[in-house]
C-alpha cells in the first residue's frame, strides 16, 4: 500500500500535543524537542514515519482522531504545501510566552487542535501557482490563520458552542473573557505579521477582510432566532465570513507574485466561490454527519438558533404544522438527536439538503473555472481539485 505520509499524517494522526500523549504514550512524547511539541504538524509526521501503513490507517479510523481521511484533492494540496506550513504554529505562538497567562495555552489550544490550515495553504499554493516561492507566503499564511483562529474564538463565545474539532472550546476551559481577549491578541498578531510584508495593498485587503468578518458575525448575531431569514441573506453572511477570508487567502498569495490586476481578480473569485461552496457543505454536514466526524455536536446550528442555508430552505417550504414544530425545536439547547432527526427528515422531504449540495457545486465549479489558464498547470490542477473536492469531504 502506497501512503503519502506527510499529507496523511497531517490530517489523520495528531490534532494536538495532548492527543499525541494519549495516543502513543508519554515515552514517545518526552523524546520530542520542545519545538516539535509545539508544532502538531511536525509531531504528526514524526509519528507517521514510526508507524506501518496499516497501523496508520487504523489510527485514522479510531474514535480519538478524525474518522475519515480527506479525498485525494485535499491530500494533494496538503502534500504540495506541507513543508511551508510546518512553521505556522511556531509563528503564531512566538509572542505568547511574553503575554499573561493563560494566553499561550489558549493560543496553543486553538492553533494546534488539528485544523486543516486550509486558508494558509491557499495563500501558499496561490503564490506557488504564479511562481512565487519566497518566505513571505509563509508569514502571510500565518497572518491569515491568525485571523481565522481569532474569529473562531470569538464565534464560539457568541454562539455558546461546546465543542470544536472534537475538543472542548476555549471559553469552557478558560472563560469567555479570556477567550475574547486572546482572540483580540490573535487579530493584533495577524496585523503584526502583515506589516512584515511592507505591502500596503495586502494590508488594505486584509484590513477590509477583518471588517467583512465582523460585519458577517454581526449580521448573524442579529438574525439569530429569526426563522424568516432568506437563503439570499444566508449567502450574504457566508460571503462576509468564509468567502471573504478564502478570497483574502488566494488573492493575497497572488499579490505576492504579480501586480497583474486581472490575475488578482481571478484568484479573488476563485477564493470567494471556494469559500462559499466550502461553507455550504459545512452547513449541510451540521445536520447529516456524525459528531465525532465533524468535531462538534450534530445539530448545533439548530440548538443555537442559527439559520443556515439548508434550514432557510426548509423553513420556506414546510407546511404550517411542520413550521410550528421546527419553531419549537429552533434555539432549544435541550434538543436531542431524535429532534434533530425530525428536522433532517423534513429537509429530505423538501429536498433542502440536495439543493444545498447543488448550490455548493455551482459555487465550487464557478471558483474552479475562474483560474482556467492562470499560472503553472500542476498547481492550478491541485487548487481546482481541492476546490471541487469540497463536496466530497465529511468533516
What are the boundaries of each domain within the chain?
1-69, 70-283+366-392
Report the CATH superfamily, name and number, of domain 70-283+366-392.
Farnesyl Diphosphate Synthase (1.10.600.10)
Given a cut of 50, whether residue 69 has pLDDT beyond it is no
Output the CA–CA distances (angstroms, integers) from residue 359 to 137, 279, 348, 356, in the order listed: 31, 11, 16, 5
pLDDT for position 80: 86
Label residue 221 left, alpha or beta by phi (over 0 means left) and psi (-120 to 50 means alpha): alpha
The rounded mean pLDDT for the chain is 81
Q: Is residue 361 a contact partner of residue 281, using CB atoms and an 8 Å limit?
A: no
pLDDT for position 291: 53
For 150-184, write each residue's pLDDT tens digit: 999 998 888 777 777 667 888 988 889 999 999 99
User: What single-letter DSSP state applies at residue 393?
Assistant: -
- 3, three cell numbers: 501512503
Sign of the CA dihedral running 104, 109, 110, 115:
positive
- Full-model pTM: 0.81
Q: Which of 6-15, 148-157, 214-223, 317-326 has the lowest mean pLDDT?
A: 6-15
pLDDT for position 39: 47
pLDDT for position 237: 94
Given a cut of 90, whether residue 126 has pLDDT beyond it is yes
Given a cut of 50, whether residue 9 has pLDDT beyond it is no
User: Quick one: pLDDT band at residue 295, thresholds 50, 70, 90?
Assistant: low
pLDDT for position 7: 45
For residues 298 and 283, what is the distance between their CA atoms, to the nearest angstrom?
Answer: 11
pLDDT for position 296: 63
- Please report which helix (H) or strand (E) contains residue 168, including its range: strand 167-168
Q: Is residue 183 a contact partner of residue 150, using CB atoms and an 8 Å limit?
A: yes
pLDDT for position 274: 97
pLDDT for position 362: 96
- State percent of the chain over pLDDT 90: 47
For residues 19 and 21, what is the distance between their CA atoms, to the nearest angstrom?
Answer: 5
pLDDT for position 306: 87
The three-class DSSP label of residue 255 is: helix
Q: Going by C-beta distance under 8 Å and a sequence separation of 6 or more, which residues neighbour residue 275?
A: 238, 239, 242, 243, 244, 245, 246, 247
Given a cut of 50, whether residue 248 has pLDDT beyond it is yes
Which ranges in 31-135 belong to alpha helices (H)?
34-37, 40-49, 53-60, 72-85, 88-93, 103-111, 118-129
Largest interatomic CA distance in the chain? 63
CA trace torsion 286, 232, 222, 334 (10° rounding): -30
Region 76-90 average pLDDT: 82
The three-class DSSP label of residue 4 is: coil
Output the CA–CA distances (angstroms, integers) from residue 157 to 240, 308, 311, in the order listed: 19, 18, 22
Q: Which of 73-77, 191-195, 345-349 has the lowest mean pLDDT?
A: 73-77
User: Quick one: pLDDT band at residue 132, thresholds 50, 70, 90?
Assistant: very high
Region 124-147 average pLDDT: 94
Amino acid at each position: 500500500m502506497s501512503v503519502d505520509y506527510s499529507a496523511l499524517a497531517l490530517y489523520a494522526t495528531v490534532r494536538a500535543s495532548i492527543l499525541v500523549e494519549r495516543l502513543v504514550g508519554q515515552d514517545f512524547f518526552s523524546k520530542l524537542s520542545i519545538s516539535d511539541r509545539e508544532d502538531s504538524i511536525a509531531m504528526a509526521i514524526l509519528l507517521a514515519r514510526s508507524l506501518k501503513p496499516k497501523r496508520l490507517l487504523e489510527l485514522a479510523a479510531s474514535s480519538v482522531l478524525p474518522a475519515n481521511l480527506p479525498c485525494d484533492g485535499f491530500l494533494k494540496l496538503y502534500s504540495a504545501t506541507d513543508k511551508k506550513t510546518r512553521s505556522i504554529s511556531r509563528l503564531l505562538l512566538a509572542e505568547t510566552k511574553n503575554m499573561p497567562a493563560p494566553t499561550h495555552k489558549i493560543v496553543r489550544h486553538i492553533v494546534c487542535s488539528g485544523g486543516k490550515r486550509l486558508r494558509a495553504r491557499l495563500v501558499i499554493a496561490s503564490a506557488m501557482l504564479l511562481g512565487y516561492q519566497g518566505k513571505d507566503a509563509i508569514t502571510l499564511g500565518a497572518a491569515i490563520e491568525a485571523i481565522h483562529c481569532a474569529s473562531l474564538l470569538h464565534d464560539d463565545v457568541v454562539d455558546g458552542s461546546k465543542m470544536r474539532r472534537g475538543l472542548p472550546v476555549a471559553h469552557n476551559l478558560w472563560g469567555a473573557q479570556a477567550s475574547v481577549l486572546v482572540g483580540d491578541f490573535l487579530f493584533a498578531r495577524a496585523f503584526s505579521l502583515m506589516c512584515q510584508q511592507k505591502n500596503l495593498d495586502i494590508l488594505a485587503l486584509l484590513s477590509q477582510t477583518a471588517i467583512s468578518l465582523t460585519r458577517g458575525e454581526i449580521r448573524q448575531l442579529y438574525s439569530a432566532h429569526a426563522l424568516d431569514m432568506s437563503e439570499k441573506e444566508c449567502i450574504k453572511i457566508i460571503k462576509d465570513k468564509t468567502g471573504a477570508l478564502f478570497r483574502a487567502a488566494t488573492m493575497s498569495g497572488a499579490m505576492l507574485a504579480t501586480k497583474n490586476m486581472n490575475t488578482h481578480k481571478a484568484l479573488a473569485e476563485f477564493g470567494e466561490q471556494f469559500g462559499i461552496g466550502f461553507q455550504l457543505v459545512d452547513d449541510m454536514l451540521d445536520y447529516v454527519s456524525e459528531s465525532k466526524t465533524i468535531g462538534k455536536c450534530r445539530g448545533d446550528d439548530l440548538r443555537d438558533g442559527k439559520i443556515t442555508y439548508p434550514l432557510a430552505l426548509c423553513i420556506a417550504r414546510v407546511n404550517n404544522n411542520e413550521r410550528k414544530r421546527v419553531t419549537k425545536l429552533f434555539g432549544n439547547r435541550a434538543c436531542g438527536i431524535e429532534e434533530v432527526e425530525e428536522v433532517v427528515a423534513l429537509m429530505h422531504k423538501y429536498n433542502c439538503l440536495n439543493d444545498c449540495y447543488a448550490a455548493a457545486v455551482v459555487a465550487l465549479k464557478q471558483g474552479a473555472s475562474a483560474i482556467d489558464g492562470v499560472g503553472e498547470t500542476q498547481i492550478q490542477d491541485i487548487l481546482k481539485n481541492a476546490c471541487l473536492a469540497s463536496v466530497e469531504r465529511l468533516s
